[in-house]
Every structure is written in structure tokens, then in C-alpha cells.
Structure 1
Amino acid sequence: MIITATNGIIYEVRFAAEENFEIERDDTSTGLRKVFVFQDIAIGPVESKRKETIFYSFDITPTGERVFADRHSFKDFDSEFDAFQISEVWTILKNGILNDFIRKVELTEIASREE
């Protein structure tokens, strides 16, 4: 997918099932391409209001080699976390985590569910 941001920068975004989640763009300061490779997302307990994304950035040389790896992260503000907590995405994730726990840790499956 190609997106253009309001600042005029064009990003190439890759997140197909068989690929890493990556965002690539030109780096005007180096003349190279820069790629951001997403590594992990962490969601803490409600009282911490922590949803953090960890990613690495690389410069891409003309030969395609990825160099100068740097680790970064960003975290939601409290209001962003509050919105995430009531979102459909969080509901889907919670149910996926619950199902995985029951299957992989408890070695069983959910037979019924009451809300």
C-alpha cells in the first residue's frame, strides 16, 4: 500500500500475512531509503493505561542492505488508551487471547459463554 501524508512524504506500507509489518520512505537527510520494522506491541493492565509499540529503523543501502539498526517505541496517551479500551479491536484481541489461553495453556476449548 502507498500512502501520502499531509507533510507530503510518501510511505510504502507492507503488512500482508506473509510479511513483517514495515513502513518505508525516502530519507532526505541521508539520500537513502529508511524502513521501520514493527517488532512487538505490549498492552498493560488497565491501571497502567499502557499500549506500546516497539519497532526498529534501518537505512537501506543502494545494494538493499539494511544498516544502522535503531530500536524505538511509542506509547499511547491516556485518552488514546481509553479509546482503545472500548474499541472493537480490543474486544477482538481480548477474545483471541482468551481462546488461545483456553486452548494452549488449559488444553481445552470453550463450550459455552455467558456475558
Structure 2
Amino acid sequence: MRLKSNISFILIGSIFLMGGCNLYQSNNIPIEMVAFNSLTKEEVNKIPVSPKDSVVNEVIVSEDLGKQIGDKFIGKTIYSVTFNNTEDDTNGRLIVYVSNDKETVIGKGYENRK
């Protein structure tokens, strides 16, 4: 009888552990939503469709980009989230930079118009 209760305890514990892991994974927010949540109201209004209408890229921070988001990021890999159709007469598309933890916004700006 004791063996049955030990096995039941292990099974129930395993179910809670797996449930907890799934719960944690479901709380992970996509990078484009992390970027979107950092925008001002005016920036949000520039996005005509959806935050999912964006391009996520891994980038290595150059010296030029480091001047914008911080010298400590030069040479490091981060993510850029470029929101499509946000350009206007003076600026290119809106870009938000997210650290490699995929949760921390470290800067934002616009593409250079050429």
C-alpha cells in the first residue's frame, strides 16, 4: 500500500511540475510584442495593421548603433524589431532594439532614409 501512495505522490508531483513549466512558457512574450509594449501612443498610432507586421533580426551592434543605444552593447548580439509601414516624410521605419534576453528594450529609432 505504501508503494502505491509513493507512486501516486510522484505522479501528482510530476503533473504539477509539467504544468508549472508549461505555465512559464506560455508567459513568454514574443519579441515583437515586447517592442510594441515599449512604444508611445504616437508611435503605436503609426502602426497601421498589427505589431506582428514587423521584422525581427539578430544584429551585432556596430559603433554607430552603439552611439545610439549605448557603448556597452558594441560587439554584442541584440534583436532589432522593425515595424513595417511606419515611415513618414522625414523618417524611415520605426525600429526597437531588444537585448538578447528577449525581454528588455534598450533603445529605439528610425531607419535612415537614403
With normalisation by structure 1, the TM-score equals 0.31
Structure in which a larger fraction of residues adopt helix? 2
Mark the structure with the bigger radius of gyration.
Answer: 2
Structure number with the bigger relative contact order (C-alpha 8 A, sep ≥ 6) is 2
More strand by share: 1
TM-score, scaled to structure 2: 0.31
